[in-house]
Structure 1
């Protein structure tokens, strides 16, 4: 919270992956199956074959060409460096016992979920429309931040779904307040909708609710998405060419990375334009 006393709102940079400060946790802790997103199978707790001894990816600049698209759309929201440097005090999973390594791998996805909640809460606190509930948002952020700083034994026992539910009530209210101030006519409610392959080229979708919607391979070329709520929306192969996403709510970099776009796609200022988008 930027102007509320007592809040411990993290800077955006703290909610983004810093692989140089992590022991490659996402490349070890998480499982994946051979598919369009991953070239091979990998079990949870087993190091990816591309992970180097310095905890960096050996094919980082060629992930898409080598069949690892899934890696390019993943972000830990800073959980990797927090678990590596704070929760485990700089202890590399390679250096300790197998039990200690397994504990680190179990803690990582818990902290990742909490860090994602911090991303959304930090954004909510920056919205002027959320002023009526700013104190509640600040208290929620402080609580979640405190949870991320617990010891590993406490973190693995945490009821994450319950925490998410509490935070989601506030994020829903924030969305309602913000979208009500968005221009356009009646706001479209597409929450959880199956819009795979939908033809929405040039559509006026200002202030629409796309929470949890399936927009896989949908055509949103030139669509106006200003002020739309995109939390949890599946944007894999969604065509955002020339679309306007300025002011969009609760968008994440992994969602943007999963979509298609162009130089004409308008993104919020804090986002990076993916290298695979067309010029």
Structure 2
């Protein structure tokens, strides 16, 4: 009985008190969604949000990705002031957009601009899945199209990092029109001799995967990224067949010739810098 008593005591002593819970600052720890290991958030941030245990690539915000790639002090943002309206008077849409503005510090789900990677100047667009799940509304499409047009005017290469749940349903057909607008801008850019590098991150789906994300001169992805148009369940119900376990992953697309390379986040800056150098004035500077 004495042994049972002390066993119970140890068991209950292991339960954190309410005071000890209060002593742990909110947001100090982060759990990997893949292997469920828990790390200090600062440790994960230093590792570019890649799990040190299982190598799972967790999402980065637009600004985290920009800071991880671009040479310090070289970044110039474009069209920050553009914001969404509510063209279809969709209920509560403006309130939801405002809530995301407060949460992320962004006006929309993409940041565009120009900066240097390894000393090479490039224009870029970086989507942020924490703003309306990176959904593509009219402002997202407009900012990307403008960035491509500026890249053309300034004779700069263009890099885009995609992260999106697809078209923004609250804007209806106006959202779907962005697929054509961005694709036409890329076509003109390509015809003028411009270089476009597309990097698909988790997730890149719907109208984004079916338009500008998939038509770069180089199409890359991060490990484990979900990439596809329709959802897995819809496809299985349509074709009445079970799909492979790795279906719609970056590795599956690479194996079937739909990607040029799957690039680890730690190697991304080096790879982009090398490619930009290769294409600078035909590589005459190498």
TM-score with structure 1 length normalisation? 0.30
Name whichever structure is richer in strand by fraction.
Answer: 2
Which of the two has higher C-alpha Rg? 2
Larger helix proportion of the pair:
2
